[in-house]
Amino acid sequence: MTSGNIQLLSETLAKAKAENRAALIAYLPAGFPTVDGGIAAIKAVFDGGADVVEVGLPHSDPVLDGPVIQTADDIALRGGVKIADVMRTVKEAHAATGKPVLVMTYWNPIDRYGIERFTEELAAAGGAGCILPDLPVQESAVWREHADKHGLATVFVVAPSSKDERLATITAAGSGFVYAASLMGVTGTRESVGEQAADLVRRTRATSGLPVCVGLGVSNATQAKEVAAFADGVIVGSAFVQRILDADGDEAAGLAAVRELAGELAAGVRRVS
C-alpha cells in the first residue's frame, strides 16, 4: 500500500519554524489555465520559494472561494478538468520538486468519487493530504480512517467565529496543520489581514500543538510579513491566480509573474521584524 506524504508536510513546517520563519503555502487550482499550464505554474511557485502548495479541485459551487478563484475554476471546468487531472497535477508537481502538495476540495467530489479510491490515488500520487473546508468534523470519521491509513493529512478550517470548545474539537480531529481563515467571508485579496487573525491563531494554538497557517486575504510581501509574525504558515491563493489571469493567455508571462510573486512572499515570511 502506498503511503502519502504527511510526514514530509510536518517536516517542512517544522523546518520553517526551526529557521524562525513562517512557511509559505501557495494555492493554485488544477486545470488552470490548462492541466499542463497548471502543473507548470505550481513548479514555478515552488521555484520562487513556496514551501507547500495546495492544489484546488475545481468545483462548480465553491462556497469559500471569491470571484478570482471562481473565475479560474470556471476556466478549468470548461476545459474539462477531471479528478484524474488533479491527481496527475499532484504527482507531477511533487515528483519534480520533492515538496509537499495537498489537495483542497469540497466534500461532494470525494463523496461521489469514493473515499477509499480518492485517498488511495492521492497517496499513490505522492500527495501530503487534503484541506476540506466544508466537511463537518463530526461527519469526518470515515474519511479520517482512510486518510490515516494512507499517510495523508486532514486539514480542517477554523474561522474567527469558531468558539474555543469548537476549536478544540476541530484541532483534535485534524492533522498536518490547521487552516485559520483570517476573516469571515470568501477568499480574495484584502487591504488588511488584521487582528482577528492573530486572535484566532492564539486561541487555536491554546487547543493544539499543530501548526496554525493563516489564509484568506494575503496578497503581498507586507501582509505576508504581518501574518508571519504570529502564524506558522502564510497561505496565498487569489494573488497567484490573479497573476495568471492578468497574463491573459501568455503562459511564459504568467509563469514569470507567479515565480516573482512567490519570491516576494518568501522574502516577506522570512523578514524578522
Residue with cell 463523496: 111
In whole angstroms, give the CA distance from residue 228 to residue 52.
15
Mean predicted lDDT score pLDDT of the chain: 92
pLDDT, position 41: 98
As a whole-number percent, the residues of the chain with pLDDT over 70 amount to: 93
- Split at pLDDT 50, 70, 90, the class of 62 is low
Match 474561522 to its residue by C-alpha cell. Answer: 159
pLDDT band at 63 (very low <50, low <70, confident <90, very high): low
* Known catalytic membership, residue 47: no
Cα torsion 243, 249, 250, 255 to 10°: value is 40
Flag the least confident range among 152-161, 187-196, 247-256: 187-196
Give the type of residue at 151: G
Q: Minimal CA–CA distance to 210: which of 273, 181, 167?
A: 167
- Complete DSSP assignment for 26-42: EEEETTSS-HHHHHHHH
Give the pLDDT confidence score for residue 96 in this predicted structure: 97
pLDDT confidence of residue 195: 76
pLDDT tens column, 162-199: 999 999 999 999 999 999 987 655 455 555 566 788 99
In the residue annotation, 65 being an active-site residue is answered as yes
Q: How many CB atoms lie within 10 A of CB 115?
A: 16
pLDDT interval class at 64 (50, 70, 90) = low
Q: Dump pLDDT digits (tens) for 77-134.
A: 999 999 999 999 999 999 999 999 999 999 999 999 999 999 999 999 999 999 999 9
Q: In which band, very low, low, confident or very high, does the pLDDT at 67 lie, cut at 50, 70 and 90?
A: confident
Give the burial class of 211: count Cβ atoms within 10 A of its Cβ; 0-12 exposed, 13-18 middle, 19 or more buried: buried
Which of the following is catalytic: 19, 47, 54, 73? Answer: 54
**Is the separation of the CB atoms in 162 and 170 below 8 Å?**
yes
Q: What does residue 178 show for φ and ψ, rounded to 5 degrees?
A: -110, 130
Q: 13: buried, middle or exposed (CB in 10 Å: 19+, 13-18, 0-12)?
A: buried
CA distance 39 to 91: 9
Looking at residue 79, its amino acid is G
Mean pLDDT confidence for 212-235: 92
Give the per-residue pLDDT at 84.
97
Q: What is the pLDDT of residue 265?
A: 97
CA distances from 22 to 6, 44, 87, 128 (A): 18, 20, 27, 19
Mean pLDDT within 155-161:
93
pLDDT per residue as tens digits for the range 6-39? 999 999 999 999 999 999 999 999 999 999 999 9
- Alpha-carbon gap, residue 241 to 189, rounded angstroms: 11
- Other C-beta atoms lying within 10 Å of the C-beta of residue 222: 13
Q: Which of 51, 65, 120, 232 is catalytic?
A: 65
What string of DSSP letters covers 195-222?
Answer: HHHHHHHHHHHTT-SS-EEEESB--SHH
- The residues, any chain, with a CB within 8 Å of residue 36's CB and separated by 6 or more, are none
